[in-house]
Amino acid sequence: QVQLVESGGGSVQAGGSLRLSCAASGYTNRDYCLGWFRQAPGKEREGVAVICGSEKFPYTADSVKGRFTISQDDAKNTLYLQMNSLKPEDSAMYYCAADRGVSVASVLRASAYHYWGQGTQVTVSA
């Protein structure tokens, strides 16, 4: 059973930084994609950044490229999202997700993932 627990959200001013963490268990690197998604009020859940397989190839949404970096610490079974140069439009609930057998075409689609954390709120003020 895959379990995901996020932490690290909070409130920051525009231009600031936050690092989200996701403690993950019950999966194997070789088979799974793990990643970050976000959902703002009234909007659909969208993919932010995902790492797949033991190669840890990153997939990053255009809206956060150059500002957000996804990484994974295998020793700690933890996924991270370093968020720099935050903007008010980055405000959302951020979720960690995981699943196996995710196609490249679907890697940033929320519908491709069955395992989710409870979410952590990020609020960026202007």
- The per-residue pLDDT for 26 is 85
pLDDT class of 89 with cuts at 50, 70, 90: very high
User: What is the b/e burial string over 67-80, where b = at least 16 CB atoms within 10 angstroms of the residue's CB?
Assistant: ebbbebeeeeebbb
- The per-residue pLDDT for 120 is 98
Residue 20 and residue 119 in contact, taking contact as beta carbons nearer than 8 Å: no
Mean pLDDT of the chain: 95
**43 vs 104: CA distance, rounded Å:** 23
